[in-house]
Amino acid sequence: MASHDRARARQDGTQPPGNTQDWSPRLALLVAATFFMEFLDGTVLTTAIPNISADFAVPAADVNITMTAYLLTVAVGIPISGWLAERFGARRIFCLAIAVFTVASLACALSQDLATLTLSRVAQGAGGAMMVPVGTLVVLRGTPKSELLRATAFLVWPGLLAPVLAPLVGGALTTYLSWHWIFLINLPLGVAAFVAALRLVPPSAGDKQRRLDWPGLFLTTVGVGALVVGLELASSHPDGPWAALSAAAGAVSLLAAVLWMRRARNPLFNLAVFRTRTFRAMATGGFVYRLTISSVPFLLPLMFQAGFGWTPIHAGIMVAAVFIGNIGIKPATTPLIRRFGFKAMLVFASLASAATFALCALLTQDTPQALTFALLVCSGAFRSIGFSSYASVQYADIVPAQLTSANTVSATLVQLATGAGIAVAALLIRVFDGLGTFPSDDAGPYRGAFLAMAALMLASTLDSILLPRHAGAEVSRVPAAQEPEPDVSPPGPAPAEGQPRPRPAGGPARRP
């Protein structure tokens, strides 16, 4: 019976991490590439806003709706993605997501007015909302826990690099080609990803009996959407009441969703995932960590340009140091976690990141360029360690039945944390500017924002400190090497007198 259940689990795609040998680095790399496309398109349009504004003959501020529409659609579409994967099969939904994203990218490039571009961005966001959580689920289901660190190392890099590279990629394409190429570049990438997905993603049968929790979906979608709108308003119009009202409405709706799903027979999410200590640490301390880290690509270019008077290209080169730190530390991240464990690395990454934030507040335009560059390289390295640790430890103790819920909740929280990081950073800049804490210093408001973010980063360490010493050990420890099989061959004839006894197979010769 047990063997029948395991065979069925492998067939329908519900095999848990730790019980399968289907780990595929090529599949993880494919999913990571689709993540990079989705993350990049979230912010790459920023540098093209003036050109789009001129082409469509609309105010530049109006073009921001294309970014808001994309981010909002991704956020509200994530909660249903887990149910879609279970109902229709993860392979089918993942391939559909890539197709929708690619076709919508073509529609964006062909848009002749702002309304068409905005609607195309909504369609693009719908594809992106399915790509991220469903792609992660595909990788997790085929990864034993002993390989989870390697798998998440592939999946983490898009979230680290895309926010840093987006201004450079968008600026280069817009300057040397046109803003349309920001979307056209997705076409060959999308087609290649679709073909690769058909070959690499294992087929899985959907559960036709899986019912959709309509009240839970409605309350969650409204809550997440209202929170995203509130965060967007807080970053652009913090003085008005609408940001606070929208955020409050979102919080109330999400609270109602939690109360409903705790009593529902077939809830949208299995909230029992929050009883797992390592997952709960990701949902609380990890949320704060991602919030603060997400503010860096927003704060640094502003401080360098508005505070120091640097040119955009000068600021962009300096911000690229964060990217170098992200990539440079990657080969050492997994060995470090295996050597010291999740708890130690989470605490270290948070404390070290807080220190780099505080040091960023001390930078001036007269600080030696090499010193500034080195500081940002270190900041990127610590950022990478923290991201990888949180991304891996959150699934360390999740049981198979909770994997889909844990993955979908995690994707939703990551999306909210990213938006919250930019909104909180923008709000802090306005607060310190209004207080006049740093008089006669153009970079003063940004210094204050970095110091506040350093304090928030310190707060994120509390959950990590309270984790057990060996939290997530099943994932972080080095897989035990196979023991040599004992020699069970029948004894041969006794050796002649004076000749040495033959050596046992697989073992050293005994000393006489």
- The CATH number of whichever domain residue 114 belongs to comes to 1.20.1250.20
- Whether 20 maps to a domain, the answer reads yes
- Residue finishing a domain among 210, 237, 255: 210
Query: Which tops the pLDDT comparison, 318 or 502?
Result: 318
Residues 159-201: tens digit of each pLDDT = 667 776 777 777 778 778 888 888 888 899 899 999 999 888 8
Mean pLDDT of 199-204: 83
Output the pTM of the full model: 0.79
Residues 185, 106 within the same domain: yes
- What is the helix, strand, coil percentage profile of the chain, to 5? 75, 0, 25
Query: Residue 75's domain spans which residues?
Result: 7-210
Mean pLDDT of 143-163: 76
Nearest-angstrom CA–CA distance, 392 and 152: 6
Phi, psi at 341, each rounded to 5°: 90, 165
HSE (side-chain half, CA atoms, 13 Å) at 368: 4
Residues 260, 320 within the same domain: no
Residues 19, 54 within the same domain: yes
- Whether 488 maps to a domain, the answer reads no
Burial 434-444 (b: 16+ CB within 10 A, else e): eeeebeeeebb
Residues 50, 88 within the same domain: yes
Residues 439, 300 within the same domain: yes
- Rounded to 10 degrees, the C-alpha dihedral 286/287/292/293 comes to 60
Answer yes or no: are the C-beta atoms of 350 and 293 closer than 8 Å.
Answer: no
| Alpha carbon 343 to chain centroid, angstroms | 20
Residues 253, 196 within the same domain: no
Q: 47: part of which helix (H) or strand (E)? A: none
Nearest-angstrom CA–CA distance, 294 and 1: 48
Residues 169, 263 within the same domain: no
Answer yes or no: are the C-beta atoms of 444 and 438 closer than 8 Å.
Answer: yes
- For residue 485, pLDDT beyond 50: no
Tell me the CA distances in angstroms from 379 to 166, 305, 365, 393, 421, one per residue in order: 18, 19, 19, 21, 16
- Name which of 48, 90, 89 is nearest 67 in CA terms: 48
Residues 184, 255 within the same domain: no
Residues 386, 248 within the same domain: no
- Burial classification of residue 218, based on how many CB atoms lie within 10 Å of its CB (0-12 exposed, 13-18 middle, 19 or more buried): middle
- Whether 410 maps to a domain, the answer reads yes
- Whether 1 maps to a domain, the answer reads no
- Whether 140 maps to a domain, the answer reads yes
pLDDT at res. 15: 43
Position 512 confidence tier, pLDDT thresholds 50, 70, 90: very low
Query: Which tops the pLDDT comparison, 158 or 324?
Result: 324
Length of the chain: 512
Tokens 């848990």 locate to: 16
- Whether 139 maps to a domain, the answer reads yes
pLDDT at res. 22: 56
* Angle, CA of 78, 109 and 91, to the nearest 5°: 35
Mean pLDDT of the chain: 81
Number of structural domains in the chain: 3
Position 288 confidence tier, pLDDT thresholds 50, 70, 90: very high
- Rounded to 10 degrees, the C-alpha dihedral 321/333/425/371 comes to -30
Residues 191, 248 within the same domain: no
| Alpha carbon 387 to chain centroid, angstroms | 8
SS3 427: helix
pLDDT at res. 238: 65
- For residue 21, pLDDT beyond 80: no
- Whether 243 maps to a domain, the answer reads yes
Residues 375, 455 within the same domain: yes
Tell me the CA distances in angstroms from 460 to 254, 287, 291, one per residue in order: 22, 8, 10
Residues 328-343: tens digit of each pLDDT = 888 888 889 888 888 9
Tell me the CA distances in angstroms from 37 to 100, 110, 316, 341, 350, one per residue in order: 13, 19, 20, 31, 28
Residues 351, 433 within the same domain: yes
- For residue 98, pLDDT beyond 90: yes
Mean pLDDT of 219-239: 82
Position 169, amino acid: V
Answer yes or no: are the C-beta atoms of 299 and 449 closer than 8 Å.
Answer: yes
Residues 108-147: tens digit of each pLDDT = 999 988 889 999 999 999 998 888 888 888 888 777 777 7
Phi-psi region of 498 (alpha: psi -120 to 50; beta: other; left: phi over 0): left
pLDDT at res. 239: 67
- Whether 166 maps to a domain, the answer reads yes
pLDDT at res. 152: 80
Residues 400-442: tens digit of each pLDDT = 788 888 888 888 888 888 888 888 888 888 888 877 666 677 8
How many CB atoms lie under 10 A from the CB of residue 478?
Answer: 10
Those residues whose C-beta lies under 8 Å from the C-beta of residue 504, and which sit 6 or more positions away, are: 487
DSSP state of 168: H
SS3 107: helix
Tell me the CA distances in angstroms from 85 to 70, 220, 237, one per residue in order: 22, 18, 37
Phi-psi region of 486 (alpha: psi -120 to 50; beta: other; left: phi over 0): beta
